[in-house]
Chains A and B, each alone.
Chain A
Amino acid sequence: MAGVRALGSLSRLTTRRYNLTMFPGVTRRTFRVAACMMARTHVNYEIKGDVAVIRMNDPSARVNTLSVQMQREMTEVMDEVWGNSAVQSVVLISSKPGSFIAGADLNMIQACTTAEEVTLLSQEGQKMFEKIEKSPKPIVAAINGSCLGGGFEFAIACQYRIATKSKKTVLGCPEVMLGLLPGAGGTQRLPKMLGLPSAFDVVLTGRSIRPDKAKKMGLVHQLVDTLGPGLKSPEERTIEYLEEVAVEAARGLAKKQIPLTKEKGLMQKIQDYVMSYPFVRQQIYNTVQKKVMKQTKGLYPAPLKIIECVKAGLEQGPTAGYLAESQNFGKLAMTPESKALIGLYHGQVTCKKNRFGTPEKEVKALAVLGAGLMGAGIAQVSVDKGIHTILKDTTLEGLSRGEQQVYKGLNDKTKKKSITTFERDSFLSNLTGQLDYNGFNKADMVIEAVFEDLSIKHKVLKEVEAVIPPHCIFATNTSALPIKDIAAVSKRPEKVIGMHYFSPVDKMQLLEIITTDKTSKDTTASAVAVGLKQGKVIIVVGDGPGFYTTRCLAPMLAEAVRVLQEGVDPKKLDSLTTGFGFPVGAATLADEVGIDVAAHVAEDLGKAFGSRFGGGNIEFLKSMVDKGFKGRKSGKGCYIYQPGLKRRDVNTEALEILESYKLTPNAAISSDSDIQYRLVSRFVNEAVLCLQEGILANPVEGDIGAVFGLGFPPCLGGPFRFVDSFGADKLVEKMRKFEEVFGNQFTPCQLLLDHAKDPSKKFHK
Chain B
Amino acid sequence: MIRASKKEKCTFHFHNTTVNIFVGLFLSVVFSNHTAKSKKTLAKPGVKNIVLVDGVRTPFLQSGTIYADLMPHDLARAALQGLLNRTGLPKDAVDYIVYGTVIQEVKTSNVAREAALGAGFSDKTPAHTVTMACISSNQAMTTAVGLIAAGQCDAVVAGGVEFMSDVPIRHSRRMRKTMLSLNKAKTLGARLSLLGSIRLAHLAPELPAVAEFSTAETMGHSADRLAAAFGVSRLEQDEFALRSHTLAKKAQDSGLLSDVISFKVPGKDIVSKDNGIRPSTMEQMAKLKPAFIKPHGTVTAANSSFLTDGASAVLIMSEEKALAMGYKPKAYLRDFVYVSQDPKDQLLLGPTYATPKVLEKSGLTLNDIDVFEFHEAFAGQIMANLKAMESDWFAQTYMGRKTKVGAPPMEKFNSWGGSLSLGHPFAATGCRLVTTVAHRLQKEGGQYGLVAACAAGGQGHAMVIEAYPQ
- The verdict on B346 contacting chain A, using a C-beta distance below 8 Å, is yes
Q: Quick check: which of B92-100, B227-235, B361-369 contacts chain A, the rest being far away?
A: B227-235
Q: How far is the CB of A252 from chain B (nearest CB, A)?
A: 9
B345 in the interface (beta carbon within 8 A): yes
B229 & A229 in contact (Cβ 8 Å cutoff) = yes
B222-248: which residues lie under 8 A (CB-CB) from chain A?
224-226, 228-231
A224 lies within 8 A of B296 (CB):
yes
Residues of A within 8 A of B226 (CB): 228, 230
User: Which residues of chain A from 206 to 230 have any CB-CB distance to chain B below 8 Å in the complex?
Assistant: 222, 224-230
Specify which chain A residues have a CB less than 8 angstroms from the CB of B230 in the assembled complex: 230-231
Q: Within 8 Å CB of B326, what residues of A?
A: none
Please report the C-alpha to C-alpha distance between residue A230 and residue B295 in the assembled complex, in whole angstroms.
22
Could you say which of A222, A228, A245 contacts B229, with CB atoms under 8 Å apart?
A228
Interface contact B391-A228, CB-CB below 8 Å: no
Name which residue of chain B comes closest to A162, CB basis: B296
Q: In the assembled complex, which residues on chain A have CB atoms less than 8 Å from the CB atom of B387?
A: 230-231
Q: Would you give the shortest CB distance from B392 to chain A, in whole angstroms? A: 10
Residues of B within 8 A of A232 (CB): 393
B213 within 8 A of A: yes
Residues of chain B with a CB closer than 8 A to A249's CB: 296
A245 to B221 Cα, complex, angstroms: 16
CB of A362 within 8 A of chain B? no
- The residue of chain A having its C-beta at the shortest distance from the C-beta of B222 within the complex is A228
User: Measured between C-beta atoms, what is the minimum distance from B443 to chain A in Å?
Assistant: 35
Shortest distance in angstroms between B102's beta carbon and chain A's nearest beta carbon?
20
CB contact under 8 A between A422 and B295, given known A229-B397, A234-B229, A241-B228? no
Which chain B residue has the least Cβ–Cβ distance from A245?
B296
* Cβ contact within 8 Å between B394 and A227: no
> With A422-B213, A422-B214 known to touch, is A230 a contact of B229 (CB < 8 Å)?
yes
The yes or no answer to A107 lying at the interface (CB within 8 A) is no
The one of B216, B224, B346, B397 that contacts A420, using a Cβ cutoff of 8 Å = B216
A residues within 8 A CB of B216?
A: 420, 422
Q: What size tier do the contact residues of chain B reach?
A: 20 to 34
B-chain residues with CB within 8 Å of residue A224 when the two chains form the complex: 296
Chain A residues 656-682 with CB under 8 Å of chain B are none
User: A228 to B342, Cβ gap below 8 A?
Assistant: yes
Q: Which residues of A contact B344 (CB under 8 A)?
A: 228
Interface residue? A137 (CB, 8 A): no
Q: Which residue in B215, B221, B398 is a CB contact (below 8 Å) of A229? A: B398
Partner of A227, one of B215, B229, B296, B342: B229
Q: Which residue of A lies closest to B230 (CB)?
A: A230
Q: Are B346 and A228 in contact (CB under 8 A)?
A: yes
Determine if B27 is an interface residue (Cβ-Cβ < 8 Å).
no
Per-residue CB contact flags for chain A residues 633-654 toward chain B (1 = under 8 Å, else 0) read 0000000000000000000000
Q: How far is the CB of A363 from chain B (nearest CB, A)?
A: 26
B293 within 8 Å of A (CB atoms): yes
Q: Is A755 an interface residue (CB 8 A)?
A: no
Query: Which A224-268 residues have C-beta < 8 A from chain B?
Result: 224-232, 234, 237, 241, 245, 248-249
- On whether the beta carbons of B391 and A231 are closer than 8 Å, the reply is yes
Interface residues of B in 260-295 (CB under 8 A from A): 293, 295
Given that A237-B229, A248-B296 are contacting pairs, would A231 and B215 also be in contact in the complex, using a CB cutoff of 8 Å?
no
State A232–B392 Cα separation when bound (angstroms). 11
> Nearest chain B CB to A428's CB is how many angstroms away?
14
Query: Which residues of A lie under 8 Å from residue B225 when comparing CB positions?
Result: 225-228
In the complex, the chain A residue whose C-beta lies closest to that of B390 is A231
Contact in complex: A229, B345 (CB < 8 Å): yes
Q: Is the CB of B231 within 8 A of A225?
A: no
Most buried by B among A231, A232, A420: A231
* Residue interface mask A550-579, B partner, CB < 8 A = 1: 000000000000000000000000000000
Docked Cα-Cα span, A422 to B229, in Å, equals 24
Q: Could you tell me the distance between the alpha carbons of A241 and B295 in the complex, rounded to whole angstroms?
A: 14
A241: chain B residues within 8 A (beta carbon): 228-229
Name B293's closest neighbour in chain A (CB-CB).
A225
Asked whether, in the complex, the Cβ of B394 is within 8 Å of the Cβ of A229, the reply is yes
Alpha-carbon distance A230/B383, docked complex (angstroms) = 12
Contact of A222 among B228, B295, B346, B394 (CB under 8 A): B295
Q: How far is the CA of A232 from the CA of B398 in the complex (A)?
A: 11
B398 CB → nearest A CB, Å: 5
CA distance A241 to B225 in the complex (A): 10
Min C-beta distance of A130 to chain B, whole Å: 30
Of A224, A232, A248, the most chain B CB neighbours within 10 A belong to: A232
Alpha-carbon distance between A171 and B295 when the two chains are bound, in angstroms? 22
**Complex CA distance for A664 and B409, rounded to whole angstroms:** 97
Interface string of B382-400 (1 = CB under 8 A from A): 0010011001011001100
A478–B388 Cα distance when bound, in Å, is: 54
Expressed in whole angstroms, the Cα–Cα distance for A225 and B213 within the complex equals: 19
- In the assembled complex, the CB of A532 is this many whole angstroms from the nearest CB of chain B, namely 27
Q: Which of B424-456 contact A (CB under 8 A)?
A: none
Given A227-B228, A229-B394: A234 touches B345 (CB 8 Å cut-off): yes
Known: A420-B216, A422-B213. A231 touches B296 (CB 8 A): no
The residues of B that contact A230 with a CB separation of less than 8 Å are 226, 228-231, 384, 387-388, 394
Residue of A nearest to B398 (CB): A229
On whether the beta carbons of B296 and A222 are closer than 8 Å, the reply is: yes
Name the CB-closest residue of A to B341: A229
CA gap between A81 and B224 in the complex, in Å: 33
Contact B345 A231 (CB under 8 A): no
Instruction: Tell me, in angstroms, the Cα distance from A422 to B215 when the chains sit together.
Output: 7
B345 with A227: CB separation less than 8 A:
yes
Please name the residue on chain B nearest to A246 by beta carbon.
Answer: B296
Inter-chain contacts of A222 with B (CB < 8 A)? 295-296
Hey, which chain B residues are within 8 Å of A226, CB to CB? Answer: 225
- CA–CA, A228 and B215, complex, Å: 14
- When C-beta atoms are compared, the residue in chain A nearest to B213 turns out to be A422
User: How far is A249 from B296 in the complex, measured between Cα atoms in Å?
Assistant: 9
Residues of B contacting A229 in the complex (Cβ-Cβ under 8 angstroms) = 229, 345-346, 394, 397-398
User: In the complex, what residue of chain A is closest to B343 when comparing beta carbons?
Assistant: A422
Q: Which of A398-428 contact B (CB under 8 A)?
A: 420, 422
Specify which chain A residues have a CB less than 8 angstroms from the CB of B345 in the assembled complex. 227-229, 234
User: What chain A residues lie within 8 Å of B391 (beta carbons)?
Assistant: 231
Bound Cα distance A245, B225 (Å): 13
A232 CA / B213 CA spacing, docked (Å): 27
* Residues 184-234 of B contacting A (Cβ, < 8 Å): 213-216, 221, 224-226, 228-231
Docked complex Cα distance between A420 and B215 (Å): 8
- Determine how close the nearest CB of chain A comes to the CB of B51; give it in whole angstroms: 38
Bound CA–CA A422/B212 (angstroms): 11
The residue among A227, A229, A237, A241 with the most chain B CB atoms within 10 A of its own CB is A229
B214 nearest in chain A by CB position: A422
A248 to B228, CA, bound (A): 14
Q: CA–CA, A675 to B384, complex, Å?
A: 71
Q: Is the CB of A231 within 8 A of B394?
A: yes
Residues of A within 8 A of B221 (CB): 225
- Docked CA distance A492–B230 (Å): 55
Q: Whole-angstrom distance between the alpha carbons of A46 and B267 in the complex?
A: 65
CA distance in complex: A496, B342 (Å): 40
Provide the bound-state CA to CA distance between A241 and B214, in Å: 25
The answer on a CB contact under 8 Å between B342 and A231 is no
Nearest chain A residue, comparing its CB with the CB of B292: A225
Cα distance A645–B295 when bound, in Å? Answer: 49
Closest CB-CB distance, A262 to chain B, in whole Å?
14
Residue of A225, A227, A232 ringed by the most chain B CB atoms within 10 A: A225
* Chain A residues, CB < 8 A from B388: 230-231
Inter-chain contacts of A234 with B (CB < 8 A)? 229, 345
User: Would you give 15 A-B contacts (Cβ < 8 Å), ordered by A?
Assistant: A224-B296, A225-B224, A225-B225, A225-B293, A227-B229, A229-B345, A229-B394, A229-B397, A230-B388, A231-B388, A231-B393, A231-B394, A237-B231, A245-B296, A422-B215
**7 nearest A-B pairs in the assembled complex, by CB-CB distance:** A228-B345, A230-B229, A227-B229, A230-B230, A422-B214, A245-B296, A225-B225
Given contacts A222-B295, A229-B346, 10 further A-B contacts (CB under 8 A): A225-B224, A228-B225, A228-B226, A228-B342, A228-B344, A228-B346, A229-B345, A230-B228, A231-B229, A422-B214
